[in-house]
Chains A and B, each alone.
Chain A
């Protein structure tokens, strides 16, 4: 296995979808090639699932320095997580923008007179 093959099959390797023999090839290549070995270590350091699960803490700056560095290293090698992070940020912005613009376009009307009277009447009953 060469470096290109290694990179091409790394996702399938971590998805556990590679035939056993090819998976062994990945392990052997990582053991002998320094660059691919480092990539393998980084990929093992934090899974995509873990990154996505704790993404809100990463964005809110609630992780420790070392954890932040681990997240950054994962993002540097994982286009899927980078795309996820970008789309998650866009989702946050769109949600707030859409909901707030809805409030502006639908101004509050005065409370219906019947409801004002019903609340007052209920409070009178409550007092009795």
Chain B
């Protein structure tokens, strides 16, 4: 686990996390994650400025974690654990693997708290650690390497690079709420049919809202290679979605 925590270049990731944390964990959300009891536990002082409460709370909490105070660690686990477990479950689709990833993520945080410099929110940092733990589990699965299926889902060309077949314009997506809900459910099921690595990339990009740079760090790729992987995952999804939007000719 020490090695796992060391894999993440925190100094590189932190400034990037800071830019994205407002999307993932807006201040009100982070605040609402705390129960009143938990807030008093970490010595929260009432203040008219919400931002300064957040900053003071967070800094104090991190200091207590650095002192290895179990109550502070427990507070962090209880505050963020549920949401982080949901993140792990979405990636791993298995209760016991999700539990393990959450545990590994929290232990990585516990061990590496010294390297947390406070340039991102603690919640954002934990989010990345749990994702990293989940990715390590995913990589061990046999479905991770499905290069032949990945190839099949890419667009096909012929000769000097023209489309292998003529493409039709897709029909419009429905306006009605019920139809849209049904469509979203179907799209999620379709995403689940993608090769595991492509499904994971779409979840990280579109749901967890990681940047290409962050994905590059997690997958040990150059930013450009990460962009290409995300592009291919979208192309693969496009291939699977196509039959629904193209009427038979």
Contacts and interface: CB of A to CB of B under 8 A. Distances in A.
B161 interface: yes
Q: Which 10 A-B pairs have the closest CB atoms?
A: A47-B161, A16-B159, A111-B81, A49-B161, A98-B187, A99-B207, A108-B86, A56-B231, A15-B159, A83-B167
Given A55-B231, A86-B169, A110-B78, A122 B107 contact: yes
Contact of A101 (B103, B163, B184): B184
Which of A16, A50, A82 counts the most chain B CB atoms within 10 A? Answer: A16
Nearest to B241: A91
A100 B107 CA distance: 28
Contacts of B191: 95, 98-99
Contacts of B83: 108
Interface size class of A (residues with CB under 8 A): 35 or more
Given A84-B155, A98-B184, A111-B78, A14 B106 contact: no
A87 interface: yes
Contact of A96 (B86, B160, B181, B206): B206
B187 A94 contact: yes
B162 A94 contact: no
Interface of B: 68, 70, 73-74, 77-78, 81-83, 85-86, 90, 99, 102-103, 106-107, 110-111, 155, 157-164, 166-170, 173, 181, 183-185, 187-188, 191, 202-203, 206-207, 227-228, 230-231, 234-235, 237-238, 241-242, 245
Given A116-B78, A120-B77, A15 B162 contact: yes
B229 to A, nearest CB: 10
B107 A94 contact: no
A11 interface: yes
26 contacts: A14-B162, A17-B159, A47-B157, A52-B157, A80-B166, A83-B167, A83-B170, A87-B169, A87-B242, A88-B234, A90-B173, A90-B245, A91-B234, A95-B237, A97-B187, A98-B187, A99-B202, A99-B207, A108-B82, A115-B85, A115-B103, A116-B81, A119-B107, A123-B73, A123-B107, A123-B110
A109 interface: yes
